[in-house]
Structure 1
Amino acid sequence: MQPLISQRFSLKQLTICITFLSLNFIYPTQSNPITSEWYLICEIWTASGLDRPTFLANYISALDSLEAALESRGFENKVDGNGDSSTTVYTFAQCMQDLQFNDCETCLSSMLQLIQQCRAIKEGKRAGRLYMGGCFLRFDDHNFTNDITSFDDRIICGKHEDPHENFDHLAEKLVSNLANEAPKKMGFTWVI
């Protein structure tokens, strides 16, 4: 009969491993890139005193209605108001496509809390954007679906590279490897 614990591990090593694993259950780590805030943009203009109550009602209604649609489709574009730019609120929220339902829900919940930093309710701020690890939220007083990127927008994709440069190099390498290897194998080969 073989021992339950391999002879390769000493009792001291096993004790350290068990202690380490048990500490992870006692003190779980709090790392969640899905809900980590990447970038928050709050615009400076505010709703006027007379328009503020209607704007705020539309703002709250728009954000409240995002949840159900976002959970079912992963994105939502919502307009609350009559089209008057002084009181209408346009919102858009989207989760990354690879997020599970629960992760999307968690991300949306975090967004709805963090977007309050734009102070739309307290000061009547009319626009804000929040980029997070797993989702995005924007509210504004105009239809922004056809807006081009502005100086405020951020691209968080790493350094800029010409996509064709790497492709050209890899294609040349592939053809060269095929030309070298195929004659050795009766004209047929595969190359990684």
Structure 2
Amino acid sequence: MGEPRFYLALLHNPVYNKRMEVITTTVTNFDLHDIARSSKTYDVNKYYIVNHLESQQSLVARMKEYWSGDFGAEYNPDRKEAFSILDIKAELADVVADIKDIEGEEPILVTTDARTYPNTITYKALREKIHSGDKPYLVLLGTGWGLTKEVMNSTEYILEPIYGRGDYNHLSVRSAAAIILDRLLGESWWG
């Protein structure tokens, strides 16, 4: 097995609101901190925030600067380390281009959803592909009420849904990210 070439992106656009209108959501402090920490824990190559609004890009840049170089870096060096893999891009195409510059090839796009599709892949199957190290993989997470149909249709695979014990299925993106990272990159504790 090779070394995983794994990237994660949290898309704030294009996503749906609850009326299925295409919108751009705002960045949340928790998503930056918590997903960056999970990503660093699981040795993700890079964690991207995708938001085309300049005000949101500036907000992310200011927070990253604070935790990477200001008092925040001295106060919390662990946060500085987690933020070292955080990057902001305006569009998904910018993320793909950045990964191509790093890896020499475009990543395999994988998205997530609470439903199954014809191109749904199991965690076990995707884990095996990722750990082969043959190709870079980019897993896309959506905000709001989910990624648009166009984004969903542009990906090679859609990860199988995360199921709990009951019928309720509405995890926060931070919780979903942690579960996904553990299943794909964590210790193989189940055998």
TM range (shorter): under 0.3
Q: TM-score, normalised by structure 2?
A: 0.27
Larger radius of gyration: 1
Q: TM-score, normalised by structure 1?
A: 0.27
Higher relative contact order (CA 8 A, sep 6+): 2
